[in-house]
């Protein structure tokens, strides 16, 4: 009988701890598929963050390091500079990458570190129980913004792709979403391109995945997918921001 669907070799045969309806599993699977399809699994090193995906090292079937909060790009820099033949990626949430780890991600991108960043933006801190993130939407209720995010007090959500694309250094920067098959197909293409560029030793690559958190958003999984489409996609454009060019937004060159 022909096998038409199976677990990728790069994905471990392990049950995850993720909540029902969480989109981490979709992104995990796509990463594993990309590494399998590109034949990179045996050279791969993933970096797990602090956050819901802290245990990601249990869910993949290749080498992993667990990083302190926000420092995954520095850890990846150490691995990639020390062993350039490795295929290195960080897997980071929005609190990890866009709050406590802002310095590390910006400087890794600006140095053009030749590793891949998979950025999960679900507009909230998941593991600690639904606090406001730097990417929380204006007016969004969280456990630390009970009256909704007040942009007069805490500013607007950070658009990481746009921020990093403003750097002059060459890179691949794309925002994708994982709330419907149409978007997921595009997301897979972006992830594969990111890993291909790394395998070709081309440039820093960054893929932001708009994701859901039904538990901390207080919604059913289906309602969460709909909320992402209606609230996040208009604010966080799903598009490519940079593809290899050495140019930043507002660059006069």
Q: Is 18 in the site for other proteins (CB under 8 A)?
A: no
- Quick one: which segment of 60-68, 133-141, 174-182, 226-234 binds other proteins (CB under 8 A)? 60-68
130 touches 142 (CB < 8 A): yes
Q: What is the DSSP string of 85-150?
A: TSEEEEEEEHHIIIIITHHHHHHHHHHT-SSEEEEEE-SSBTTTTSB--TTPPTT--BTTBTT---
63 touches 12 (CB < 8 A): no
Q: Is 7 in the site for other proteins (CB under 8 A)?
A: no
Among 47, 127, 178, 187, binds other proteins (CB under 8 A): 47
Q: Please, which of residues 66-95 interact with other proteins by CB under 8 A? A: 66-68, 71, 74-79, 81-83, 85-86
Give 27 or 76: the residue with its C-beta nearer to other proteins.
76
Among 23, 53, 61, 140, binds other proteins (CB under 8 A): 61
Give 60 or 227: the residue with its C-beta nearer to other proteins.
60
209 touches 178 (CB < 8 A): yes
Residues engaged in binding other proteins (CB under 8 A): 41-45, 47-48, 54-55, 57, 60-68, 71, 74-79, 81-83, 85-86, 103-104, 107
């Amino acid at each position: 009988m022909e096998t038409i669907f199976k677990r990728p070799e790069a994905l471990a045969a392990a049950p995850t701890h993720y909540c029902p309806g969480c989109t981490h599993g979709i992104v995990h699977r796509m990463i594993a598929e990309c590494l399998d399809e590109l034949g990179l699994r045996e050279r791969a090193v993933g970096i797990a963050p602090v956050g819901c995906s802290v245990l990601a090292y249990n869910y993949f079937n290749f080498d992993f390091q667990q990083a302190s909060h926000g420092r995954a790009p520095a850890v990846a820099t150490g691995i990639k500079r020390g062993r350039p033949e490795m295929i290195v990626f960080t897997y980071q949430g929005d609190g990890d990458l866009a709050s406590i780890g802002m310095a590390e991600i910006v400087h890794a991108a600006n140095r053009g570190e030749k590793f891949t960043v998979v950025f999960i933006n679900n507009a909230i801190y998941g593991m600690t129980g639904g606090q406001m993130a730097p990417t929380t939407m204006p007016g969004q209720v969280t456990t630390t913004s009970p009256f909704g995010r007040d942009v007069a007090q805490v500013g607007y959500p950070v658009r990481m792709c746009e921020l990093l694309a403003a750097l002059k250094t060459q890179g691949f920067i794309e925002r994708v979403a994982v709330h419907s098959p149409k978007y997921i197909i595009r997301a897979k293409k972006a992830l594969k391109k990111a890993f291909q560029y790394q395998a070709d030793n081309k440039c820093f690559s960054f893929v932001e995945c708009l994701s859901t958190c039904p538990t901390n958003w207080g919604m059913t999984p289906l309602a969460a997918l709909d909320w992402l489409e209606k609230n996040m996609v208009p604010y966080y454009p799903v598009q490519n921001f940079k593809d290899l060019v050495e140019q930043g937004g507002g660059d006069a060159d």
